[in-house]
Amino acid sequence: MDYVSIVNAVIEQHKSSPIDMLGIGDTLGEYKYLKNLQHSYIRTISDIDRHMGTGREDKHCLEIGAFLGIVSISLRKLGYRVSALDIPEFQKSLKLRELYQRNDVDFGAINLRSSKLPFDSNSFDAVVICEVVEHLNFNPLPALLEINRVLKPGGYVYIGMPNQASL
């Protein structure tokens, strides 16, 4: 599987249709940020794909903290059904909502501090949560219990955190 080409194609969408999440006109900065994290996105989707086995079209993945959608959209391009969540402030971006819609990824908002995940129990084969846990300034156990609740028995939780050794 050519994960590099898939991730690159998703990142390039941000060059042709920039989002400008911060509303400061720095779309080139967003693109450079995504290119800088390209290796991390490739590792994430390859790890998930290797562990999920066959039958991608029957597998449902949830990404919490999906931000600009690189992992979610790449997983969708691989054939998985994907739902993505991020903070309510990001949900307000029309361009971001359009990006997810264009790529057939369900996109919603969540405040992990005070909300239950808006899904039935045992709904997902994998839950991806990269570069989120270190931002939680509250007890993460209720959020982790919610992740466990929506995860199917035998499903995978993929947690990624920045590695200071690579600074």
Cα separation of 162 and 166, whole Å? 8
124-130 and 60-64 beta bridge pairing:
parallel
Nearest-angstrom CA–CA distance, 17 and 130: 24
pTM of the predicted protein model? 0.93
| pLDDT (tens digit per residue) in 116-136 | 999 999 999 999 998 877 777
Confidence of residue 141 (pLDDT cuts 50, 70, 90): confident
pLDDT in tens, 39-65: 999 999 999 999 998 899 999 999 999
For residue 127, give the nearest of 90, 75, 163 by alpha carbon. 75
- Cβ of 82: how many Cβ atoms within 10 Å? 29
Encoded tokens for 109: 């908002």
High-pLDDT (> 90) share of the chain, %: 76
Query: Token match 């995504």: residue?
Result: 34
- Which residue's entry shows tokens 């900065």? 29
Q: What is the spatial distance between Cα 141 and Cα 106, in angstroms, rounded to a whole number?
A: 25
Q: Using an 8 Å Cβ cutoff, are 120 and 143 in contact?
A: no
Which tops the pLDDT comparison, 79 or 142?
79
Check residue 23 and give its pLDDT.
Answer: 87
